[in-house]
Amino acid sequence: MKLKNDFYTMLGFAARAQACVSGYTAVEKGIRKKNILLVILDEEISGNSLEKVTTMCKTFGIPWIMAGPPGEPGMRIGKPAAKMIGITRQMFAGRMLQLTQQNAERTEVED
């Protein structure tokens, strides 16, 4: 579980560094302006919003991560209702992707 904690620690740091935006409108605008480097989606996001943002991410070549437990990503940035978060700095986006990949590798080894 350390990797999961590290992921959410990085998300909290990104929020404190003002390196993230939240909400569908802000994330959509950031993606279109090519300011968003990584999108984090809450597990509770609606199907319609999920389809729209993942299609947009595919179009613009932006990675996205489904994060949980439900509500946790928003709580880590101080906005519990946020279901969609966009990371705007490479330092945070790169490390969060790295932590996600390490967690996936660890899960495959444990299975």
Q: Are 16 and 76 in contact (CB under 8 A)?
A: no
% pLDDT > 90, the chain: 78
Beta bridge partners of residue 41, listed in sequence order: 66, 84
Tokens 């978060």 correspond to: 85
CATH number, position 35: 3.30.1330.30
d(CA 104, CA 60): 24
Report the pLDDT value the prediction gives residue 93, as an integer from 0 to 100.
96
* pLDDT digit string, tens, across residues 8-46: 999 999 999 999 999 999 999 999 999 999 999 999 999
Domain count, the chain: 1
Q: Are 93 and 10 in contact (CB under 8 A)?
A: no
Report the pLDDT value the prediction gives residue 4, as an integer from 0 to 100.
75
Q: What is the DSSP string of 87-103?
A: E--HHHHHHHHHHHHHH
Question: Smallest Cα–Cα separation from 83: which of 19, 39, 29, 36?
Answer: 39
pLDDT band per the 50, 70, 90 thresholds, residue 2? low
* pLDDT digit string, tens, across residues 57-71: 999 999 999 998 898
Report the pLDDT value the prediction gives residue 68, as an integer from 0 to 100.
83
Give the range of the structural domain holding residue 39, as residue numbers without chain letter.
2-110
Amino acid present at 67? A
Report the pLDDT value the prediction gives residue 106, as an integer from 0 to 100.
62
